[in-house]
Amino acid sequence: MKRHPFEPARLISGLTALTLGTAYGLDALGLWHAPGPWLFLTLPAGLLLSGITAAVWTRTRRPHHPHTDSTSSKGS
């Protein structure tokens, strides 16, 4: 089985979708009354958190190259 790289942004998106789907399912079955604003704010909040996580993850996983100033290394 091919190994896939860990992507925390996808994990957060998946958990958000799973939470939202579970909440709607429990509400439809009558086992739990979901507050309306909570359900509408869950998806944008989860996607925002996922986007921030993706940006931070990309920034921290980027290889670091030392900054060299090519103009100062030339002989004057």
- 21 within some domain: yes
pTM of model > 0.75: no
Range of the domain at 21: 8-61
Cα–Cα distance, 65 to 18 (Å, whole number):
39
Task: Judge whether 26 lies within some domain.
Answer: yes
Q: Is residue 3 part of a domain?
A: no
> Is there a domain that residue 68 lies in?
no
What confidence score (pLDDT) does residue 1 get?
81
Phi-psi region of 5 (alpha: psi -120 to 50; beta: other; left: phi over 0): beta
User: Do 39 and 2 meet the contact criterion of CB atoms below 8 Å apart?
Assistant: no
User: pLDDT by residue for the chain (76 residues), tens digit each?
Assistant: 888 888 999 999 999 999 999 999 999 999 988 888 888 899 999 999 999 999 999 988 877 666 666 565 555 5
Q: Which residue has the tokens 């896939």?
A: 4
Residue 49 lies in a domain: yes
Q: Which residue has the tokens 């190259």?
A: 65
Specify the number of domains making up the chain: 1
Predicted local distance difference test score (pLDDT) of residue 69: 60
pLDDT for 39: 82
Q: Tell me, what's the pLDDT at 76? A: 52
Residue 21 tokens read as 């789907």
What type of residue is 24?
Y
